[in-house]
């Protein structure tokens, strides 16, 4: 199978794309980050944390599901740098890691609005 011939004007874009493709490692990291925010339960957690930091049981209350499931998801989100946590007495308070996370959430909602 050969590349289409009569689209020479796009050949350049293809070459640039290949030259500028990020390495496998960076691709994997970005993919992992997006994957961590691509499940309904985890997404609900992030939407909840827009309101400020919260302990695990408050999160459970806001998003539904079991404590165990939420805790598993939180671990994944933290491992991917999406949320951060700090201990306060018996509680662990979670919050969005940085402004990028919030910005991505807002962009996603804006994108959906454009596609109604």
Q: At what angle do helices 40-49 and 67-79 cross, to 10 degrees?
A: 80
Which string of b and e fits 5-40 if b means at least 16 CB within 10 Å?
Answer: eeeeeeeeeeeeeeeeeeeeeeeeeeeebeebbeee
Residue 97 to residue 90: CA distance in whole angstroms? 21
Segment 28-87, which members bind DNA (CB under 7 A)?
A: 35, 39-42, 55-57, 65-69, 71-76, 85, 87
- In angstroms, give the least distance from the CB of 74 to DNA: 5
What SS3 class is residue 31? helix
Q: Does 3 bind DNA (CB under 7 A)?
A: yes
- In angstroms, give the least distance from the CB of 1 to DNA: 5
Please identify, using beta-carbon distances, which residue of 53 and 102 lies nearer to DNA: 53
- In angstroms, give the least distance from the CB of 20 to DNA: 20
The residues of the shown chain that bind a second copy, judged by CB under 8 A, are 1-4, 6-7, 10-11, 13-14, 16-18, 20-22, 24, 26-35, 37-40, 43-44, 47-55, 57-59, 61-63, 67, 81, 88-91, 93, 98, 100-101, 103-105, 107-112, 114-115
């Amino acid at each position: 199978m050969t590349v289409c011939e009569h689209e020479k004007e796009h050949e350049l874009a293809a070459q640039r794309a290949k030259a500028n493709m990020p390495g496998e490692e960076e691709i994997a990291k970005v993919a992992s980050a997006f994957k961590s925010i691509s499940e309904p339960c985890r997404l609900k957690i992030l939407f909840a944390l827009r309101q400020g930091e919260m302990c695990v049981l408050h999160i459970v209350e806001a998003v539904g599901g079991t404590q165990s499931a939420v805790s598993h998801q939180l671990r994944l989100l933290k491992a991917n740098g999406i949320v951060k946590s700090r201990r306060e007495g018996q509680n662990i308070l979670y919050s969005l890691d940085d402004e990028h996370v919030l910005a991505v959430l807002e962009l996603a909602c804006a994108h959906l609005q454009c596609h109604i």
